[in-house]
Chain A
Amino acid sequence: MSVFDAAKQAAQGLVQGVVQGAMEKLVPLAPDSWIPGGVPDPLIARKHGLIGKPVSRLDGVHKVSGTAAFAAEYRFDGMVYAALVYSTIPKGRIAAIDSAQAEAAPGVVLVMTHHNAPRLNPMPMFGSSPSAVGATDLPIMQDGVIHWNGQPVVCVLAETQEQADHAASLVHVTFDETPAVTSLAEAQANGVEQGQFMGAPLLDEVGDAEAAFAAAPHRVDQTYRTPRHNHNPIEPHAATLAWIGDRLVIHDASQMVTQQAQNMAQIFGLDPEQVHLTSPYVGGGFGSKGLWNHQVIGAAAAKLAGRPVRIALSREGVYRVVGGRAITQQRVAIGAKADGTFDALIHTGLSTMPPHGTMPEPFILGSQAMYGADTMLLKVEVGRMDTLANTFMRAPGEAVGTFALESAIDELADSLGIDPVELRIRNEPEKDPIKGTPFSSRHIVEAWRTGADRFGWADRPETPGSRRDGEWHVGMGCAMGTYPYYRMPGAEARITLTREGDTVRAKVEIAAAEMGMGTATTTAIVAAERLGLPLEQVDIAYGDSAIPGAIMAGGSQQTAAIGAAVIAAHNALVEELLKLAGNDSPLSGASADEVGSEAGGLARLDNPDAKETYVSILARAQRGDLSVTKAGSAPLETMHWSMHSYSALFCEVRVNAVTGEVRVSRFLGSFDCGRILNPKTALSQFRGGIIMGLGMALMEETQLDERNGRIANASMAEYHLPVHLDVPEIDVIWTDIPDPHAPMGAHGIGEIGITGVAAAVANAIYNATGKRIRDLPITLDKLL
């Protein structure tokens, strides 16, 4: 078998047991046409339909009228309420639990500890199987061993939430503490190891970057620091659940619905079909709405008590139980020629994770495809700390990594006297700098040019600290953001056409999650367009583990995963319809790839007059409905092309000369993310990401007390996020150039918004004041 035959078979998924490494070698070599997206999605060419029109979110009315039920709003008859008691030491054992007072408190139904909790299997840890989504595989209330400060140690069930909370406050737990690693310095002193992410080492080397850097005529070499960050979705994590016979029913807040159901089944020793998990509405996820201790404890307590349970974490509980971003300490060293082109790009450093964790903060991911450099060294090392397992938090890696890289590029531009936009454009790579694969769609230069023009970049003060407006220093900064296009396997779509008199309705079921970003609306738009039906005739079902397939709202990949599954299901539907249409149809003789959906039916692509409606086909076949289920193609396009989204960000800040207070006065994001499917929800996604980036730049910081590993500011009163007055008008534009190799030509846009933002702010602060702040958040005391 030649390399090309192997590649073709690999591309088509025919070779059994082809290992990932071989795929990665072969798929880039295969002709485009063998790869998903090699033949552009026909919807890309369709310009006049729903795609690209601003459509209000379909669930908006339910949300603003209070009829959308979130996880903590479901009720079961006989339901009791849970409250948790958390460990106050970072490491050791529970010595004793005195729960007598709690058990005697009014309304208490159960006090569950590791002594009486049902025996459970460990949580399937992320990466251990395709469906595993646990941030750790530590035993949950099984053995009295403490692994982090804040670990749940007791669960109280009572008839009301207030009774449960009160009783929980009466439980007295004493601990035998053992030495723990709770500071970065200690972790570093204990030795660091090569970081891994998604099963691969976080290490990329092109040439000898250190040597090239040392020889370069112009150099920047700096260390940047980002603190821990905690998740603060507006909806705290919650689950309402019940054992009904031997089945477990869970109303959860989830961005990985099917996986969580499967994981819960594994933990409780059930068949996957015995767990039914729904999550139609989620009040924000950002990577945090996954499987954590609380759902497991809730289900265990419900089993033990024989009562349905609602377990809703307090805001403090979210800090104690749900992981966030790990701390980073990043070196960026750039060696450049006089014209600004890079001889060497070095982005290395340290992050942390607990001994029981699965990921460090992979801060080099963005640097893998942003710039061309003759040599590159990208590396993440990890120190181990005894903390809660950190996890994905909006653009894991890129959010904090772009702060370091894009600050360093600004420093280089400043020292070279080259405009920072121009410097970036001079370092545009022609192909993927690491993998060498061609870019599928890269129009960042256009985004820079249009963004700079619209923002008025030419008016930037040339000399830092030179513009003053009364008490305020004024400055402008820019930065680039990036996030990869991913598509995970496992997505399926079921399309059901139902004849209703002389019209037809389509139901599209996908095991996707909607966290408020507009997925349901966008999916309906795309499905309607693909089926040739008006939006009103399309129903979308999602957020339910009973739906086939498994899709995660993570990695900004859900749009593509849904898109590819709907393409596959639509193709299968067309085939079935042609079979039903038979010889009496104007479509007779056509094969599936010769027809398309148009105006409520099928039409020949080469002769649009040869057409028949769905109603007509179904009626003649005496069918009331027709249903197909199909999985999306294997996501090989990301091996064949280098696929990314990009942003060019512009920021204007005002820094008070007296107090050091920073106010962001203008912001513009110019995005290159393929075709924008729904401008209305997209705008909110971009703006929301940028606002989260402003918080990262200026105020977000988890205060992990190095003496005992406890989060000191486990409250939104002292963990600051931007409030309305901190957010200026945010202008957002996009290239809207379809990626010819992505379904619908679109990229997911959940994470790109935050990337680069902190650097744009920091660079603007430098331009305003002449002060370069390299550790986040940039609070006013650092500017005095």
Chain B
Amino acid sequence: MNPFQYARADDAADALRRGAISGAAYLGGGTNLVDLMRETIARPDQLIDVTGLPATIAETDDGGLLIDAAVRNTALAEHPAVRMRYPVLSRAILAGASAQIRNMATVGGNLLQRTRCTYFYDAEGARCNKRTPGSGCDAREGFNRIHAVLGASDACVATHPSDMCVALAALDATVHVDGAEGQRTIPFADLHRLPGDQPDRDTVLRDGELITAIALPALPTGARSAYRKVRDRASYAFALVSVAAVLQLEGDRVVDVRIAFGGVAHKPWRATKAEAALRGQTITQQVVLDAAAAEFAEARPLRDNAFKPALVARTLAAVLTDLARGEAA
């Protein structure tokens, strides 16, 4: 770990002022950033603790929720409105990490957690374009079972590890940010980037910008949602793949469906092709598998992860058939 200064922000303005300095980083629960600092992958000179900023979950006029960035993951997962109206989000959060980590982690920080690629973490002994731009990618020809099959580049095949973000992608959330150029909102699906030739940049956030809140729109009446995570052990493991889905039926016909996949790409993957294929259909195993096939038509599996498209398809089929039968919330 490199030496660093620590300051606690009084409010957003204070945080932004301090965060404008080069080498500064915002600190939420620290459940990922501190690990990265210990590994010398993150080397901020200045940590600005933003956990003292507002941490409320408020109803919005349009029937949605506005979640402050400093809300702890546990608080969000356990909030009655979230559990009642957005079970996909509550379940995604509870599927991740451990109770202790969820108690520490913040919503804003969760959005900015970094990949679990083992080569990214091996600062001394492995090449990684995300960690050290231009150094190369050891994952592409190495151990890549947990890596991307969609949207990857020659430079980077890493995946985004968050569970919560997969649910937020399916919920059409909006990210509120503040920075030197003022406040702006970013559709959740646009927050995280594909790696392209700049895999060191995980998001479209500008230097010094601070995530202040996340807005959840109301779900249509009668919409059901679910999250399912597939992993190598029963708890405390990152998703090999995951599926978040929001399904609205009229009779047995799909009026609207929103689907996001975790563990398949550099960002939570909004499966728009599969969604389009499913609208107006009746949910059956084969219909869903065909829709998933459309989504994965462009998949580029690597040595160790060729199982992912089929696994996601089967998981999606199980999630949607359960939702259609009303077996999940």
Interface residues of A, Cβ cutoff 8 Å to B: 85-86, 88, 106, 149-150, 162, 165-166, 169, 471, 658-661, 663, 698-699, 703, 705, 707-708, 710, 712-715, 717-718, 720, 722-726, 779-781, 784
A199 to chain B, nearest CB (A): 36
Interface residues of B toward A: which range?
Answer: 35 or more
Determine if B1 is an interface residue (Cβ-Cβ < 8 Å).
yes
Given A705-B143, A780-B311, A784-B310, 14 extra CB contacts under 8 A: A85-B124, A86-B124, A169-B123, A658-B314, A707-B138, A712-B122, A712-B142, A713-B118, A717-B116, A720-B232, A726-B235, A779-B232, A780-B230, A780-B240
What are the residues of chain A within 8 A of B235 when measuring CB–CB? 723-726
What are the residues of chain B within 8 A of A88 when measuring CB–CB? 124-125
B118 to chain A, nearest CB (A): 5
Determine if B188 is an interface residue (Cβ-Cβ < 8 Å).
no
What are the residues of chain A within 8 A of B141 when measuring CB–CB? 707
Q: Across the interface, do A703 and B143 meet the contact criterion of CB distance under 8 Å?
A: yes
Q: Name 16 A/B residue pairs within 8 A (Cβ), A-sorted.
A: A166-B3, A169-B123, A659-B314, A661-B231, A698-B233, A699-B232, A710-B125, A712-B119, A712-B126, A712-B143, A715-B118, A718-B118, A720-B232, A720-B237, A725-B235, A781-B307
Interface centre among A86, A165, A658, A708 (most CB of B within 10 A): A658
Q: If A707-B141, A781-B307 touch, does A658 touch B121 (CB 8 Å cutoff)?
A: no
Secondary structure class of chain B's binding surface, majority of residues: loop
Q: If A659-B311, A659-B315 touch, does A725 touch B142 (CB 8 Å cutoff)?
A: no
B158 to chain A, nearest CB (A): 13
A719 to chain B, nearest CB (A): 9
CA distance A726 to B124 in the complex (A): 33
Q: Across the interface, do A165 and B234 meet the contact criterion of CB distance under 8 Å?
A: no
Q: Across the interface, do B318 and A471 meet the contact criterion of CB distance under 8 Å?
A: yes
CA distance A165 to B2 in the complex (A): 9
Q: Across the interface, do B143 and A713 meet the contact criterion of CB distance under 8 Å?
A: yes
Q: Across the interface, do B230 and A659 meet the contact criterion of CB distance under 8 Å?
A: yes
Q: Across the interface, do A723 and B233 meet the contact criterion of CB distance under 8 Å?
A: yes
CA distance A540 to B121 in the complex (A): 45
Determine if B40 is an interface residue (Cβ-Cβ < 8 Å).
yes
Among B300-329, those with CB < 8 Å from A are: 307, 310-311, 314-315, 317-318
A/B pair count, beta carbons within 8 Å: 91
A301 to chain B, nearest CB (A): 20
What are the residues of chain B within 8 A of A106 when measuring CB–CB? 3
Interface centre among A712, A717, A725 (most CB of B within 10 A): A712
Determine if B236 is an interface residue (Cβ-Cβ < 8 Å).
yes
Among B62-83, those with CB < 8 Å from A are: none
Instruction: Find the A residue at minimum CB distance from B316.
Output: A658
What are the residues of chain B within 8 A of A86 when measuring CB–CB? 124-125
What are the residues of chain A within 8 A of B38 when measuring CB–CB? 165
What are the residues of chain A within 8 A of B310 when measuring CB–CB? 784
Interface centre among A169, A724, A784 (most CB of B within 10 A): A169
Contact with A along B36-60 (1 / 0, CB 8 A): 0010100000000000000000000
Nearest 6 A-B pairs (CB), nearest first? A725-B234, A725-B235, A781-B307, A88-B125, A658-B318, A712-B118
Contact with A along B146-173 (1 / 0, CB 8 A): 1000000000000000000000000000
Q: If A705-B142, A712-B142 touch, does A166 touch B126 (CB 8 Å cutoff)?
A: no
B298 to chain A, nearest CB (A): 21
A252 to chain B, nearest CB (A): 25
B135 to chain A, nearest CB (A): 13
Instruction: Find the B residue at minimum CB distance from A694.
Output: B233
Q: Across the interface, do A162 and B124 meet the contact criterion of CB distance under 8 Å?
A: no
CA distance A715 to B232 in the complex (A): 15
CA distance A189 to B213 in the complex (A): 59
Among B1-38, those with CB < 8 Å from A are: 1-3, 38
CA distance A725 to B318 in the complex (A): 23
Instruction: Find the A residue at minimum CB distance from B306.
Output: A781
What are the residues of chain B within 8 A of A781 when measuring CB–CB? 145, 240, 307, 311
Q: Across the interface, do A162 and B1 meet the contact criterion of CB distance under 8 Å?
A: yes
Instruction: Find the B residue at minimum CB distance from A710.
Output: B125
